[in-house]
Amino acid sequence: MVIRQRMRALQCKKAIAILNGASLNSRKDVMHKLAAIQMASGPNVEANLYEAERLIGRAAEAGAELVVLPENFAIMGMSETDKVKIRERPGEGRIQDHLSAQARRYGIWIVGGTVPLECSDPERSSAACVLFNDRGEQVARYDKIHLFDVHLVDIQERYNESETIASGAEVVVADTPFGRLGLAVCYDLRFPELFRAMLDLGAEIVALPAAFTAITGKAHWECLVRARAIENLIYLVAAAQGGYHVNGRETFGDSMIVDPWGTVLDRLRHGSGVVVAAMDRGRLEFTRRNFPCLEHRRLIEYRRSSQRVI
């Protein structure tokens, strides 16, 4: 009995070592470098665009092929209505043109954080996460679905995004050279059903621009980012605002890139900068094949059992 238990323990250790990348010689590696940019944006759009350009350049120099900017990278205004004042028409405007130009300049794909775009309500804007390909063409757009209407009692901070942002309604996953890329924004991270919906659309990577508060970030940021990566067996590129802002707000930072096993490949806890890590498609496929929890989903059975009357 003791020998059998030891053998089982050894087999478990070997399996974990393989999933952690200790023995992956049986497949061909396909590597892509991903980058997350961390900023502490202010109310001056031109200054923010200059900083974004500088950091995009650093990411490109490090070999990044996909660069993700944080939420509200182009403006963190003195009031929430400042975003509405500078909102752009879809497909045109200073912010979108800048993103397009940087993508063309460096021949990279860019997830443009969130850009305030016009919507049907003149008092609000859409928090649009726009994806540009390496030719500077906008190939996808996701409008933030879950809006941060929260009162943080401990520090007496109140957020009402729905007052100035129109909620989106569509789940977006796009084809890229790196794999199927899902788009989500900040507060969306707390809603695992959105990530399952992206997974059902074939997501292999998710880009998450964010601006978590210092309080909620300290409590929940890392565990949520890693959980979404683990439970969906995806690469997650989380690009955050991080630092003190002119409007008095403090954001948490800790931008990170996480692999499907939940390993933090690189991170930046504080200050502006760039996080870069390699996405290994072979590892993604290997992990999904050898740890097939996605195939073990029984959602239909769960629903049926919950409807039974006992």
Token pair, residue 111, equals 């997830």
Say which of 51, 65, 71, 161 is annotated catalytic: 71
Instruction: Provide the angle, in degrees to the nearest 10, between the axes of the packed helices 2-19 and 281-290.
Output: 150
Active-site residue, 144 included:
yes
Say which of 51, 144, 161, 204 is annotated catalytic: 144
CA 16 to chain centre: 27
Active-site residue, 186 included:
yes
Token pair, residue 109, equals 């794909």
Residue 250 sits at φ, ψ, to 5 deg, of: -120, 130
**What sign does the dihedral 38-43-49-54 (CA atoms) show?**
negative
Measured in Å, how far apart are the chain's first and last C-alpha atoms?
A: 42
Active-site residue, 293 included:
no
Task: Name the residues annotated as catalytic.
Answer: 71, 144, 186
